Amino acid sequence: MIELVADDLKSQAILIYLNRGRSPFPRSDASAVIHAFPAKGVELAAYAEGVRSELRSLPVDWSSETYEQACERVESEVARRHPELNREAIDAIGWAFCYDWK
């Protein structure tokens, strides 16, 4: 059996990029990621930006799902697409999506 392990650097990059725990609302901050990870910051910031861009491209059909259902579906979809992310990072991505659609 293969055991999937979350990538701690990518997960932390998502949290830092979205300002989870540092801001009352999500905002993109690539420079914070670069500052936090001097050796891999540019790569991790690009990864976080890509995930955020991917998140924004997910379709939502408001005629068939509620706000809460859309938020849950997007978190599930991101978790499926990015098994390298831990639960905290997935929650932060869901937080950003839900905030964007408020």
Closest CA to 44 of 99, 81, 89, 94: 89
Q: Print the domain residue range for 31.
A: 8-100
Q: What is the pLDDT of residue 55?
A: 86
- pLDDT tens for each residue of 55-89: 888 889 999 999 999 999 999 999 999 999 999 99
Q: Which tokens in the block code for residue 98?
A: 């839900």
- Total number of domains constituting the chain: 1
Q: Are 9 and 40 in contact (CB under 8 A)?
A: yes
pTM of the entire predicted model: 0.88
Flag whether 44 is in a domain: yes
Q: What kind and span of H or E run contains 12?
A: helix 8-18
DSSP letter, residue 3: -
Closest Cα partner for 96 from 12, 26, 20? 26
Asked if residue 1 belongs to a domain, the reply is no
